[in-house]
Structure 1
């Protein structure tokens, strides 16, 4: 049996990302339908179209490898999309729906950013310059989408934004940050 190489790992990961990207397109279309805020609906719709182009770029990378474009089930993406389905079911009719959708979408974007960054680095290491450029282009698109989603989410909780609990949303992260510190000071032992 031949020893596995980085090129083999690149190909296997590429198949995984190909599957993940196709699932992402479906999740984005579903998110666009579920989103309430017009700017969020538009962001999801635009990124779904952009992601379809990313799928085509992946096909080009397969061609550069001289391999057919094949997908391999990506369990990480299955988990992320299943979580999104569950969250849509739980929060779809609530004021928190758009914020929850953004959280799900960003989890997907962060996964894709990690994978495209890895593939781009590996393409460079194995001398696939054109693949490196294609993957880098997609990586930058994923980062821009993540930044846009953050901007939209922050707009929801900003003064004058949607919802009537702006103060609560801003205080919550502080409470979460200090809670573990309190627990580690030994105050639990006194109870």
Structure 2
């Protein structure tokens, strides 16, 4: 089902499709985070990737609860956006030999992921509210706040040491 396919006729259909999009994305992110943590040189960055994995697993569980509340099966649909962001990150990382520069590249990729997630969760919160689903909106908003906090943590790591060391 494409984003603007005939299968999406209502706001509710769009909401469920977007839930499935971010569900897929979170699973892809959970697969990528251990690899990023293994490659990271900076201890704070390694720690951020490791702790975000546990948080991501909680976010997946929270999404499953939203699916349940909504009365639909929890399943993903291919998210070309997250696949593209992760493919680009892998491609760039494969070209970087210097550990400090690699950390900066991975950090930038991680922030691109966070910004995508912030966009998706912000949209889902607004749509859940519009659909009268305060229960779902509250759960999705909790994840949105976590993604924003992760983005702030990554910015602090970049500004504090990683970008300086890479330069």
Q: If the length of structure 2 is used for normalisation, what is the TM-score?
A: 0.91
Matched with 1:155 is: 160
**Higher RCO (Cα < 8 Å, 6 or more apart):** 2
Q: Is the CA contact 2:42–2:100 (under 8 Å) kept in the aligned structure 1?
A: no
Work out which of the residue numbers 90, 96, 112 in structure 2 matches 1:91: 96
Offset from partner CA, 1:84-134 (integer Å, 9 cap, x none): 110110115443111111000000000000000000000000011111000
Which structure has the larger Rg?
1
Partner residue of 2:21 out of 16, 24, 34: 16
Structure 2 Cα separation of the partners of residues 83 and 124 of structure 1: 34
**TM-score, normalising length: structure 1:** 0.80
Inter-partner Cα distance in structure 1 for 2:111 and 2:100: 19
- Paired residue secondary structure (1:127): coil
**Is contact 1:34-1:92 (8 Å) kept?**
no
Q: Give, in whole Å, the separation in 2 of the partners of 1:22 and 1:60.
A: 15
Q: What residue number does 1:103 align with?
A: 108
Report the alpha carbon displacement of residue 140 of structure 1 after superposing the two structures with TM.
0.4
* Distance in 2 of aligned mates of 1:136 and 1:3: 24
Distance in 2 (CA, whole Å) between partners of 1:114 and 1:130 is 20
